[in-house]
Amino acid sequence: MKKNILIIFILYTTVLFSVSIYDIQYTTNPGGNGTYPSPYAGQIVTTGGIVGGTDFNNGRFFITSSWGGDWQGIYVYDNNQNVAVGDSVIIEAEVYEYWGFTELSNLISCEIISSGNSLPAYLVTSISNAINEVRESTRVGISPYDLSITQTYDEWGQWKVADGSGECTISTGFMNMQEMGIPLVVGYPLYIGGFVTYFWEEFQLNPISLYSISTAPENHIISIQEQLLFSPEEFEIPIYHTVFNNGQVQSYQFELQYNSEVVEYVGYETLGTLSVNGTIEIEQVGNGTISLSYNGDFSFENMEILLKLNFSGLETGSADLEFSEFVINDNSVEYFSIEDIILQLETIPIGDTLTVIQRPIMNIPQITIPNEEFNIVCLADESTTGWTAELIHYNKLIPLNISNTFYDPDLERWILTVTAPIPDIYELYDLIISANGIITDKTRNAVHLIPERKTNYSFIHITDSHLPTHIFYPDPASLTDSTEVEDLRQVINDINLINPEFVLFTGDIVNEGEMEEFENRRVYTKAQKLLEELKVPFYLTSGNHDLGGWISSPPSQGTARHNWWNFFGWNWLQDPPPADPYYTQNYSFDYGPVHFIGMEAYLNYDSYMFNIYGDESFTDLQMQWLEDDLSMASASESQVLFYHYDFSEQIDLDELEIEMVLWGHIHSNSGNINTTPYNLATAATCDGNRAYRIINVINGTLEPTNTIYAGWDGEELSATFSPDNNGLVDSVFCYIENSQNLSFSEA
């Protein structure tokens, strides 16, 4: 007879009992990047040890064998255990290699056998002997011989020390000294201990607390922390005194110099400082210098406030504090960390926000020829009468003939139809609108009068200016730096000489769009003022830095978007009427046979009005608007779409039959100028790039060129006038020197 035999295979994860930490860690088989993966990686083991360090990276901990030594420590990646230093534990868990760092993870059990156990002695040696695979997850100390700080805090709060044998990164697993306000000074000698870890392809040392650091008692650090002040009223400047770990002071003397045009010394305060008991003598030594001496006796640990000095503000600027002399216990202080005290006392008035005129405006202008009609969109009460419209260029004023005024109740806007005049000069004009009962409104560079539309012309693409600075809050330099203003100004100077028909600007015009009102930074005001220097019309779309606020900055979410609406349009996007249901700024225009489409693009990382904007580059309504707009422009020879960046890859050029898309965000060039459809990113104007791309149009056909640059000195294109172009003579000669590899026929 036949028999059916069922064979069942049951696979179990290997479970190994009584494996020592040494067995888990020790191996002679190297892995990548100088690491040695555990021979037990991927297996479940039971091991034990003494808890040597807790609260690492939010509650995780280290264990070590009771006798210590090489290969005798391991990291436990679990923050659900209530363990304390000195606990003897038995753990069942998986051995896991996290990018070269051996750890116990996916804990099955953790049993505390006993508490209060002594920790094994740890090695004190050189960096080269301590910071390596053998010492991974063990506690070590770096010998103070020839050991000093070589790099202060980086953006992650890490810093570096070195001795004669090598350099080591001091990391933040147990504490972030930068967040604690502890000053560091390059060259400062010290001893430091902690646990060795491996992250980001390097071995690092993690001190457990400030008591893991020590130095000689005469190695004082005197520090002053940065302040940004916006009032002339009296303020305190604490002077901090740091010695790791214990300090004793009987006397100190210092001479402090300061900028007497910016601040005025008014006194000192001892309450709440180390100098509260003792005697102080102070003298004003000339203009901008005080001399102070203290006698008494106090002790302290690590960092505390030595004394508070009181100043008042006189004008905007830096206090420029500097100790020309500082002596403690008859020993001269060698280590100082003096940060900026910056006063911003001048109030910068807000720029030209949108009130009555909504279009054309500076960033969505009207290019028109004589006798051509165009519409002006205005916001005013339905009962408004007596509308007038004018163009002005310097002192040249041209009235506009209004052929029709219509209030659209569905859109809640006025539409004024005007006819372009025949001017004496063809230029970029400001638009002025007046009516009964409203304040006269003026928008700069809104209407460009040209004699005719050209069949052969060029336009320019620029992007990512990050005005006025690419330095972020709260760095104090973000308040005073204007590097990116100069970068964009050099590009503007080139554009004005090249004289294209217009410019397409694809966003990130400012670095932190939420900072217009905050601390009177006026980022949009400054950007608007700079853009007024353009002598050709420009069309602007918003970028993520324009619309999105950073969590680390104080203004509330949505502030950046509201600032954009105030300056560049439009406030009705907060709650659009049903007849115009779009919450995003999208628009289009034609120049000859080419159709241009500008769209708002943003990933909504601040989640403002998430039910409306979602988390994609373009909303569904936007995509429908784009399809409708393209359908109405189907007769055009070419279509050019421009936006900041398609974060969600929603735009399919082939499907939409668009000839060109221009974008930014990545701060570098992308795309092929020889392959259609053209999908082109242009490098940023910021960070010294000063980049721009020229696109030529020949009878409706697009011919993009490679990106060019204004150059670090702005001399790639330069103009010299003879005599000076100061308006005092009726004619001048202009010599233009072109160092670019392109020619500019309209310059």
**Domains detected in the chain:** 15-114 (2.40.50.140), 123-214 (2.40.50.200), 221-343 (2.60.40.680), 357-449 (2.60.40), 456-722 (3.60.21.10)
Average pLDDT of the chain, as a whole number: 94
- pLDDT tens per residue across span 276-298: 999 999 999 989 999 999 999 99
Residues 94-130 have pLDDT tens digits of 999 999 999 999 999 999 999 999 999 988 999 999 9
The string of pLDDT tens digits covering residues 294-337 is 999 999 999 999 999 999 999 999 999 999 999 999 999 999 99
% of the chain at pLDDT higher than 70: 97
The whole-angstrom distance between residue 673's C-alpha and the CA centroid of its chain comes to 31
Which residue, chain included where needed, has tokens 């990116």?
Answer: 484
**CB contact set of 534 (below 8 Å; sequence gap of 6+):** 445, 492, 495, 496, 503
* Residue 407: other Cβ atoms inside 10 A: 15
The answer, yes or no, to whether the previous bond of 245 is cis (omega within 30 of 0) is yes
Closest CA to 457 of 591, 262, 302, 304: 591
End-to-end CA distance of the chain: 101
Q: How far is CA 623 from the centre of its chain?
A: 29
Looking at residue 230, its pLDDT comes to 87
Q: Is the pLDDT reported for residue 153 higher than 80?
A: yes
Whether the bond into 360 is cis, omega within 30 of 0: yes
DSSP string, 313-372: E-SSEE---EEEEEEETTEE--EEEE--EEE--SPPPP----SSEEESBTTB-EEE-TT-
Share of the chain above pLDDT 90, in %: 85
* Beta-sheet strands, E only, within 532-676: 538-540, 587-591, 594-598, 638-642, 660-663
Among 222, 225, 285, 224, CA closest to 255? 285
Inter-residue contact 692 to 710 (CB < 8 Å): yes
Q: Please tell me what DSSP assigns to residue 452.
A: S
How many angstroms separate the CA atoms of 187 and 307, rounded? 25
Cα separation, 485 vs 525, in Å, equals 12
pTM, 2 dp: 0.71
Give 57-96 pLDDT, tens digit per residue: 999 999 999 999 999 999 999 999 999 999 999 999 999 9
DSSP for 528-568, written as a single string: HHHHTT-SS-EEE---HHHH---TTSSSPTTHHHHHHHHHH
CB atoms within 10 A of CB 475: 12
Q: Please give the full DSSP string across 104-172, using - where no structure is assigned.
A: EEEEEEEEEEESSPPPPP-EEE-HHHHSSGGGTTSEEEE-STT-EEEE---TTS-EEEEETTEEEEE--
pLDDT one-digit tens code per residue, 627-644: 999 999 999 999 999 999
User: What are the CA-CA distances from residue 341 to residues 185, 261, 312, 383, 521 (Å)?
Assistant: 19, 13, 12, 54, 17
Q: Cβ neighbours of residue 6 under 8 Å, at least 6 residues apart?
A: none
Which backbone phi and psi does 22 adopt, to 5 degrees?
-60, -45
Phi, psi of 200 (to 5 degrees): 55, 40
Task: Give the number of residues written for the chain.
Answer: 747
Decide if 196 contacts 202 (C-beta within 8 A). no
Instruction: Tell me how many degrees the CA angle 12-17-21 measures, rounded to the nearest 5.
Output: 120
pLDDT single digits (tens) 669-706:
999 999 999 999 999 999 999 999 999 999 999 999 99
SS3 of residue 667 by DSSP: coil
User: Residue 543 pLDDT more than 60?
Assistant: yes
pLDDT band at 30 (very low <50, low <70, confident <90, very high): confident
Distance CA 78, CA 451 (A): 74
Name residue, tokens 């853009």: 531
Nearest Cα residue to 585 out of 605, 604, 565: 565
